Amino acid sequence: MFDVLGGRFLRVLGIETSCDDTGAAVYDSERGLLSHRLASQIETHEPYGGVVPELAARDHIRLLMPLVGAVLDESGGRYVDGIAYTIGPGLAGALLVGASVSRALAYAWGVPAAGIHHMEGHLLAPMLEKPRPEFPFLALLVSGGHSLLVDVQEIGRYRLLGATRDDAVGEAFDKTAKLLGLSYPGGPAIAEAARRGDPQRFRFPRPMADHPSLDFSFSGLKTYVRNTVESMELNDRNIADVAWAFQDAAIDILVIKCMRALELNHHERLVVAGGVGANLELRKRLGMLAKARGFRLYFPRPEFCTDNGAMIAYAGWIRLAGKQRDGLGFSATPRWPLTDLPPIG
């Protein structure tokens, strides 16, 4: 099914197992996304207030093959021309589940496979929407493990402009939710509580917002939340007011840094992806800024902001079409800078 003259694959199976979501999808180069499914592990990890790596890997083993069978059936046939799987960054055990299954299927079916960088998958997720962003653009990648500003010239040509110096913004949401006694994951829980908050009661600090660099810092904000929480009784009103103040500060930091990066690097397009990209208040404020400053703003749909197989299938199609091939051996890369990726051949 590989079109040698056209240099592209018709159909790619994507597998995502980097953390606590098991995802599978099939992408077709002519028909687009044919099917995608996601199995969440929230109920498994919620009692612990965060992801337990061993439990995550065990759930991937249990969930992955039924998902693969389902997306193949839904795509109209149990055949693919290549397999893409997340090889890093992420939890080593979870990554190895996806890598071993993907390599085994590729060998059994006689098709090529490509290991995909998890954050490149997020970066390309808006390409699944219409209109698609054109290169070059600025990317804000915000999740539980990453807070990055990236200058994107083309696929594989990435320049890191800013990163977090401590906690990622999604991690700060999770830890703040835990301090407030809210559920895991923290992002949706904080956003829901903040809807009932009083905007006038608290104003929390914006660490590094005035710093000339494009780096982020959220640990000081988290500490300020802890000190505030320890000075009060945790009732519904106090929880809502603190949630509003925290979200307001965290989003302010992201918006300020995006505005500075757009101006310094003369970009006219901003892509926002990753789990925090689903936050409605962030979308609202960046939308207002885009309208005022005249740049174009792109988000994936909310279900493709969190980890998913669709973004891996799409990134895999791009990489496989660019002649990337993995050997029979496989490994996981828990730590992997995005800027180490090669351009497309």
Per-residue pLDDT of the chain (345 residues; tens, 9 = 90+): 334 324 555 899 999 999 999 999 999 999 999 999 999 998 999 898 889 999 999 999 999 999 999 999 999 888 899 999 999 999 999 999 999 999 999 999 999 999 999 999 999 999 999 999 999 999 999 998 899 999 999 999 999 999 999 999 999 999 999 999 999 999 999 999 999 999 999 999 999 999 999 999 999 999 999 999 999 999 999 999 999 999 999 999 999 999 999 999 999 999 999 999 999 999 999 999 999 999 999 999 999 999 999 999 999 999 999 988 888 888 889 999 999 999 986
Beta strands in the chain (DSSP E): 11-16, 21-28, 32-40, 82-88, 113-117, 137-142, 147-154, 157-163, 269-273, 296-298
Distance between CA atoms of residues 139 and 186, nearest Å: 23
Q: Do domains 11-125+305-340 and 134-299 have the same CATH topology?
A: yes
Q: Is the pTM of this model over 0.75?
A: yes
**How many residues in total does the chain contain?**
345
**To 10 degrees, what angle do helices 169-179 and 219-230 make?**
10
Q: Return the closest-CA partner of residue 296 out of 271, 273, 319.
A: 271
Give the whole-angstrom CA distance, residue 276 versus residue 306: 8
Superfamily of domain 11-125+305-340: ATPase, nucleotide binding domain (3.30.420.40)
Would you kindly state where each structural domain of the chain is located, as residue ranges? 11-125+305-340, 134-299
CA distance 12 to 138: 27
Question: 3: which 2 tokens?
Answer: 């079109």
CATH number of the 134-299 domain: 3.30.420.40
The residues with which 22 forms a beta bridge, in sequence order, are: 39
